[in-house]
A and B are shown apart, each in its own frame.
Chain A
């Protein structure tokens, strides 16, 4: 691994240069909301971002994505697939969000790979950013994530005061580093200690731990526990937790017609919605809200782990912060542990 330094005042010009050859997707604050979106000028970017409202997954797995166009005029079917080939750089990903891409990769890149996701993933370079402080809802360490770790990013930045520590982690990162080496300097000693101290400070704030590999197994035993019904009483059945979740990846397919032509759209769906598993017959295996809410937590903690060997939660805390009725996955984890003991 290659490490360098990037002086803070050089970051904007570095990003500017990146924009010359790639689309730059970066955190931007709109009306106080931090979101990731393509930018046209560095001045729009929040260089040292906190946690965004929406996770960066929207760049790879868009909330609404046209996947093909069709035309049936004259009795013939014309199809045009819509795969993005554009090069992009995604700047300012925190470690939890970087990890979330590994979770999504497990779903979308397993054969047969999803080509829309795969194309964007392949064409996008990731620039990570260590956290400088924890938030009250953060608990990434529960999943073994280091708040200063860059694993999964191509280049990872850590704020060390006047400069960023730059870790070049992948061949794609190396390419970038080489291309823009005029911005970097040689690293000074002692930075690993700064990182370690930062990690410990943030970890101390994270109140929840998950015994990796153990909790998923425990959950099997509490599927029928009345706890889920009790928990669901205050649940509104909205889609906030799933839409702000960096790893939720359910979608629905819709065709939007306009005469004999149209588009096929892939749209996010939420397992909390009542029509999520509704069958054509009218039967719904998860008719009750508690069944849907339970499914979400089982998916996050158990099903995803069972299937892919990685939890479906990265401890980013977005759902905890944004749930209008304060359904807190950390409490759910703690309760499940208590129930099964």
Chain B
């Protein structure tokens, strides 16, 4: 019979203010197996933990129930307490009296008290059946996979590589650089985006510890912390980069022209191309969907012209597998597809209604207009420019209620750029609220107002074409009147959304996404770069909208986490994994079918029953390194031969029974 000790925590007044903790402890003393019970102000405090350790010795306790806060918070704390007290750390069961009782039922103290007693009874019933568990050790592969080559991925890769670890960086576009490479200037310092990001791009390409795969995609990630396997598809570029010198002959002479995605469709590129002049690698790829050699079966201009014979129309995708110990997901963001939902702004029918990112390209010296601000429709310099903020942000009607965090500032920057480049231009900004929380942001916003930008608080209800003008109708909610502006160009501050394909990626890696499609961090405050999957970390806007300094900071944070993990030689495994009782297993392997980690395999055993001749038969076997302890197999197993340590059938039934008294 186990000897259970029950420790009821007041958590100051958090629990003690609603529940009668001494009475709970007193009631707990009558539960089967409980030989000691007490209450204390803060059980998690040093004296509280010492009290447990002392009681273990004094009362020869071998199972501990702590009735306090959520086990998600302090389970590990108390496991360590048990360990220090000489007990197996898994001889702990917690009753959640705070989050699940006192905090939510302050209005019904009597019923809450009864509930608290039930919760402790449940914990004691489970505690009585706890078994000692022992972790295994698994080796750690000292290589890191970074998915996404934007500024977040670049920063994470460089930090990890600089620490001396190997990095594999995979980018799906032909170049690294991401969205930051498209930006003209960065707020509020107005330094040139390319000038500060391209050196980092080059550093990645040159770093001896970084293996860079561009135009490649991660197709599958399997395995577990310290021991992942990733399958990577290197898409066919049709250009042999080992031969190519990046001379540029091909793309200048290519007869095809295609809307240029890098320039947000505002310019054109060839079918064989580099996305922008400072691309890394600075070698082209062929866009087979638009190349005449592929679509029409004849052309071959680039192949004829290439001085080194690097063009290879026969090139195939290559698929290969790498092994890594950690994964950093840095897949960035997309922009809100406003054309589909904003009918009031013309569903994208008016060429002079452009997005903020389009404006970035328009104003960039390497952009389609060579840095001159010209309207796409007729190439004229706009005299009146209207900026509309919160397009796809903070707009529940369009399905996005969060703030994208960067639009206020980039719009201010755009306003500044118009006023700087076009003398006497008129600039109007429609906004809901202005959010300028960063260092130097508020000052920059004031400066733009001083420069002449007119800020109008209110939403725009309609934009329509009238002659060569765009009429912008809206409300000025501060003055309480309707506003109508005849503009030459309208710039929409489209919000930040989850990147294309991020949902599929999340499923492939096994990390959750939040309601908006961004990857879910393990804790919003305390574990912002970790995910719920051990060994997988987040960097940048794939987690939530953020500006460049925050992105870079998070990337470095993720890199620090990767280093902390990969500098270990081996890891302790979670001992709460499945186990098979061979005597009951019929070898049907229903469990194998439901295991998401491929942790179950058939194995042939020799069964020796008392008084029976030995017999060979197949049973299921759990790989404890792969098993993550979800327990799906335990329900698939009809015979109950497979059980989950720490959450056994017997324990769970005891919990049900204890709650149903």
Residues of A within 8 A of B (CB): 72-74, 257-260, 281-285, 287
Contacts and interface: CB of A to CB of B under 8 A. Distances in A.
Main secondary structure of the interface of B (DSSP, over half): loop
Nearest to B612: A287
Interface in B640-661: 657-658, 661
A259 B610 contact: no
Interface in B72-128: 121
Given A259-B32, A259-B661, A281 B121 contact: no
Given A284-B611, A287-B609, 8 more contacts: A72-B32, A74-B30, A258-B657, A259-B31, A259-B32, A281-B610, A282-B609, A287-B612
B25 to A, nearest CB: 16
A34 B657 CA distance: 37
B661 to A, nearest CB: 5
A74 to B, nearest CB: 6
Contacts of A72: 32
23 contacts: A72-B32, A73-B30, A74-B30, A257-B657, A258-B657, A258-B661, A259-B32, A259-B121, A259-B657, A259-B658, A260-B31, A260-B32, A281-B610, A282-B583, A282-B609, A282-B610, A283-B610, A283-B611, A284-B610, A284-B611, A285-B611, A287-B609, A287-B612
Contacts of A284: 610-611
A285 B612 CA distance: 10
Contacts of B583: 282
A284 B611 CA distance: 8
Interface string B4-48: 000000000000000000000000001110000000000000000
Contacts of B611: 283-285, 287
Nearest to B658: A259
A259 B658 CA distance: 6
Contacts of B661: 258-259
A77 to B, nearest CB: 12
B125 to A, nearest CB: 8
A325 to B, nearest CB: 23
A282 B581 CA distance: 14
B291 to A, nearest CB: 71
Contacts of B31: 259-260
Nearest to B654: A257
Nearest to A74: B30
A72 B609 CA distance: 38
Nearest to A261: B661
Nearest to A259: B661
A283 B608 CA distance: 11
Contacts of A285: 611
A29 to B, nearest CB: 36
Contacts of A260: 30-32
Contacts of A281: 610
A167 B31 CA distance: 59
Interface in B597-618: 609-612
Interface string B391-408: 000000000000000000
B619 to A, nearest CB: 16
A258 B661 CA distance: 6
A287 B30 CA distance: 43
Contacts of B609: 282, 287
B129 to A, nearest CB: 13
B403 to A, nearest CB: 52
A50 B21 CA distance: 66
B240 to A, nearest CB: 67
Interface string B604-640: 0000011110000000000000000000000000000
A74 B658 CA distance: 17
Nearest to A258: B661
A255 B571 CA distance: 44
B542 to A, nearest CB: 50
Contacts of A287: 609, 611-612
Contacts of B612: 287
Contacts of B658: 259
Contacts of A73: 30
Nearest to A257: B657
Nearest to B583: A282
Q: Which 7 A-B pairs have the closest CB atoms?
A: A283-B610, A259-B661, A282-B610, A73-B30, A260-B32, A74-B30, A258-B661
Contacts of A258: 657, 661
A249 to B, nearest CB: 27
A258 B121 CA distance: 12
A286 to B, nearest CB: 10
Interface in B284-333: none
Nearest to A288: B612
A9 B192 CA distance: 113
Identify the interface centre among B31, B583, B611: most chain A CB within 10 Å of its CB: B611
A281 B658 CA distance: 30
Nearest to A260: B32
Nearest to B661: A259
A274 to B, nearest CB: 12
Contacts of A282: 583, 609-610
Identify the interface centre among A72, A73, A259, A281: most chain B CB within 10 Å of its CB: A259
A282 B661 CA distance: 33
B87 to A, nearest CB: 24
A257 B658 CA distance: 10
A72 B30 CA distance: 9
Contacts of B121: 259
A278 to B, nearest CB: 10
Nearest to B125: A259
Interface string B29-72: 01110000000000000000000000000000000000000000
A285 B610 CA distance: 9
A284 B32 CA distance: 33
Contacts of A257: 657
B554 to A, nearest CB: 51
B509 to A, nearest CB: 44
B86 to A, nearest CB: 27
A281 B609 CA distance: 10
A260 B612 CA distance: 41
B116 to A, nearest CB: 16
A337 B610 CA distance: 34
A283 B32 CA distance: 32
A281 B608 CA distance: 13
A43 B661 CA distance: 41
A281 B610 CA distance: 9
Contacts of B32: 72, 259-260
A287 B612 CA distance: 9
Contacts of A74: 30
A74 B32 CA distance: 9
Contacts of B30: 73-74, 260
A73 B32 CA distance: 8
B32 to A, nearest CB: 6
A78 to B, nearest CB: 14
B582 to A, nearest CB: 12
B33 to A, nearest CB: 10
A284 B31 CA distance: 36
A224 to B, nearest CB: 16
A27 to B, nearest CB: 38
A262 B490 CA distance: 78
B206 to A, nearest CB: 66
A259 B656 CA distance: 11
B650 to A, nearest CB: 13
B584 to A, nearest CB: 12
A139 B56 CA distance: 69
A287 B583 CA distance: 14
Nearest to A75: B30
Identify the interface centre among B31, B121, B610, B658: most chain A CB within 10 Å of its CB: B610
